[in-house]
Amino acid sequence: MGLQQQLDTMRNYAALAGGKAARRTRGPEKPKWGTTILFLTPAGVLLLVFLIYPAIYTVLLSFNRGRNGIFNEWVGLDNYARLFADPDFLNFSTFPPSGALWNNVLWLVLYVSIVIFFGLILAVVAARVRYEAVLKAIVFIPMAISATALAVIWKFVYSPDNIGLLNAMLGAVGIGPVAWLGDQGIVNFALIAVGIWGSVGFATVILSAAVKSIPAEVIESARVEGANERQIFFRMILPMVSLPISVLAVTLVVNVIKLFDLIFVMTGGGPGTASQVIAFTMYQQAFGAGQWGYGAAVAVVMLILLTPVMIFNVRRFRAGSVT
């Protein structure tokens, strides 16, 4: 979870900033073919062989039965029809709805909003104390470590016997052990809590930089004119950090769509299929069940979900380089 997030945000920030400088780029009048080819070939070949051609192949494969990954039987949209009819993928017949894609929606709503909420509160409040740097480092630590380690840390906290911290605390006030990861109704919230724990530090660092870029005089003069803390937060700080918040939100959404490691290690999609997410379904169908065509269809759904972000980035980038 951790690093990917940073990379994704840097990516989004850079998409905004990158275009501006493009017009400054200069080069010699005539192309130097030999050197150009030398510099671009390694990257070009790898991107073609490992990303562009495979993406096209996967799209085509998703229209095939795809046993062993071969185009042996064209089935049209059958894989997609089966996918969206699969209650493990999306199920509206239960209340609340369930299925892997629905779990992604649940993550999207809770994880994205709560991470931003905590990040903003911490960015604003921590700036008032002397131990701000220490606090930010503590909250940031989960960002540096692997989702696999995060999963072990929290599986231990959620441990159902008397050695799990959370159940021990509940037990002390007389509430009987909760199967945090074993109950279909609780497991997703328990996992989302871990995701939030892992990402708040990142949001804090990003938003803290934005909050600190607001000039002190602006805030000060508002105070002199009699604005209270609440007005200053909602009328001044919030509007001024809305751009970083939107970039952060896009990053977190991308995270949710790509979410895999944490789920795979902590619950393996269980109990039953209760905590599966779309990237998990793709892995399981393609490599667990050997349903390559079906798995390809899931991968294509992921690609489609990420396409708006892709278009957003390309547009922002072009807008930057045109002006």
Rule CB under 8 A: which of 69-108 touch other proteins? 69-70
Nearest one of 144, 136, 142 to 157, comparing CA atoms: 142
Contact pick of 101, 147, 203, 274 for other proteins (by CB under 8 A) = 147
User: Of all helices (H) and strands (E), which one includes residue 41?
Assistant: helix 33-47
CA dist., res. 252 & res. 291, Å (int): 30
Counting contacts by CB under 8 A, is residue 265 touching other proteins?
A: yes
Q: Segment 202-261, which members bind other proteins (CB under 8 A)?
A: 202, 205-206, 209-212, 214-216, 219-220, 223-224, 232, 244, 254, 257-258, 260-261
Q: Segment 155-174, which members bind other proteins (CB under 8 A)?
A: 155-157, 159, 161-165, 168
Q: How many CB atoms lie within 10 A of CB 150?
A: 22
238: left (phi over 0), alpha (psi -120 to 50) or beta: alpha
Contact 118, 200 (CB under 8 A): yes
Contact pick of 75, 108, 110, 153 for other proteins (by CB under 8 A) = 153
CA dist., res. 69 & res. 286, Å (int): 9
Q: Segment 32-71, which members bind other proteins (CB under 8 A)?
A: 32-33, 35-36, 38-40, 42-44, 46-47, 49-55, 57-59, 61, 68-70
- Which one of the spans 75-83, 87-95, 96-104, 280-288 is the region binding other proteins (CB under 8 A)? 280-288
Residue placing its CB nearer to other proteins in the complex, 97 or 283? 283
Q: How many residues bind other proteins (CB under 8 A)?
A: 136
CB of 148 to other proteins, least distance (A): 4
HEC sequence for 195-243: HHHHHHHHHHHHHHHHHHCCCHHHHHHHHHCCCCHHHHHHHHHHHHCHH
Residue placing its CB nearer to other proteins in the complex, 59 or 238? 59
Q: What are phi and psi of 74, to 5 degrees?
A: -70, 125
Contact 143, 201 (CB under 8 A): yes
Q: What is the CA radius of gyration of the chain?
A: 24
- Which one of the spans 77-85, 88-96, 103-111, 193-201 is the region binding other proteins (CB under 8 A)? 193-201
Contact pick of 81, 141, 175, 289 for other proteins (by CB under 8 A) = 141
Q: Is the peptide bond before 215 cis (omega within 30 degrees of 0)?
A: no
Counting contacts by CB under 8 A, is residue 319 touching other proteins?
A: no
Residue placing its CB nearer to other proteins in the complex, 102 or 292? 292
CB of 139 to other proteins, least distance (A): 5
Query: Which residues does 284 contact at the CB level (< 8 Å), separation at least 6?
Result: 269, 276
- Which one of the spans 79-87, 94-102, 109-117, 279-287 is the region binding other proteins (CB under 8 A)? 279-287
CB of 27 to other proteins, least distance (A): 3
Residue placing its CB nearer to other proteins in the complex, 95 or 128? 128
CB of 311 to other proteins, least distance (A): 8
Contact pick of 92, 117, 234, 287 for other proteins (by CB under 8 A) = 287
DSSP output for 263-311: HHHHTTT-STTTT--HHHHHHIIIIIS--HHHHHHHHHHHHHHHHHHHH
